[in-house]
Amino acid sequence: MRYKICPSCRRKNPVEELLCEDCMTDLSNARIIEEPEEIEETEKTEESLGGLKEGEESRHKEGEESRHIGELTRIEVKEKLILKHDEFSIEVLPGDIVGRHTKGSEYLKDYPTVSRMHAKFYRELDGWYVEDLNSTNGTFVNGKKINTKVRIKNGDTISFSSSVSFIVFIDIDRMFFR
């Protein structure tokens, strides 16, 4: 069975689809996943699962997750967020603070309306979030000033003050093990 996984909502889509059937995210660069039709029987022991039961997750590093599905498959997920500006990109991991004196400082130091610690990025079970850290000139998601933690997705625009804007790209790398 072959399919494309939507990088935004994670829906399985037919290989020929260019847009996700649920959220309309562009699938032109989505990786094609192949699942074997038959799975060989293996010894089903807790040891082969590394001590995890079906559906349990183990955490490795920030943004990295290992999940056991059934007793035969392990999926490792590594996820990062990319803030793409016309002239540069900033790679963001869960918990990163972006600003003139933190993550991205090499680019943002020349933007005086961006605060030293402008916004914090979070990864939760249902997706990525951004929170303004009481910056002087505000954080905007798709043109709207935010006052609380706000969920963000692929293609959203994030602006720090009115001087610098980014397009959000969520990069998901999955590895399947049997």
The CATH number assigned to the domain holding 154 equals 2.60.200.20
* Residue whose tokens read 């994030």: 158
Q: What is the largest CA-CA distance in the chain?
A: 61
Q: What is the pLDDT of residue 175?
A: 58
Q: What is the pLDDT of residue 58?
A: 47
Q: Are 7 and 89 in a shared domain?
A: no
Residue 64 forms part of a structural domain = no
Q: Are 26 and 101 in a shared domain?
A: no
Q: Report the domain count for the chain.
A: 2
Residue 98 forms part of a structural domain = yes
CA 96 from centroid of its chain's CA atoms: 13
Compute the radius of gyration of the chain from its Cα atoms: 19
Q: Are 93 and 169 in a shared domain?
A: yes
Residue 96 forms part of a structural domain = yes
Q: Which residues pair with 157 in a beta bridge?
A: 167
4 lies in which domain range?
Answer: 1-36
Which contacts (CB < 8 Å, 24+ apart) does range 157-160 have?
158/83, 158/119, 158/130, 160/98, 160/99, 160/108, 160/111, 160/113, 160/114, 160/115, 160/118, 160/119, 160/135
Q: What is the pLDDT of residue 53?
A: 47
Q: Are 18 and 84 in a shared domain?
A: no
Q: What is the pLDDT of residue 49?
A: 42
Which is nearest to 119 in space by CA: 98, 140, 103?
98
Residue 63 forms part of a structural domain = no
Q: Are 166 and 95 in a shared domain?
A: yes
Which is nearest to 137 in space by CA: 114, 164, 165?
114
The per-residue pLDDT for range 18-36, each reduced to its tens digit, is 888 887 788 877 878 887 6
| 3-state DSSP assignment of residue 143 | coil
Give yes or no for a contact between 139 and 160, defined as CB atoms under 8 angstroms apart.
yes
Cβ neighbour number for residue 150 with a 10 Å cutoff: 18
* Per-residue tens of pLDDT for the chain, all 178 residues: 788 888 777 888 898 888 888 877 888 778 788 876 554 444 333 333 444 444 444 444 445 455 555 555 666 666 789 999 999 999 998 899 999 999 999 999 999 999 999 999 998 888 999 999 999 999 999 999 999 999 999 999 999 998 899 999 988 766 555 5
Host H or E run for residue 144:
strand 144-145
Residue 51 forms part of a structural domain = no
Q: What is the pLDDT of residue 47?
A: 39
Residue 54 forms part of a structural domain = no
Residue 74 forms part of a structural domain = no
Q: What is the pLDDT of residue 75?
A: 62
Q: Are 14 and 85 in a shared domain?
A: no
Q: What is the pLDDT of residue 100?
A: 96
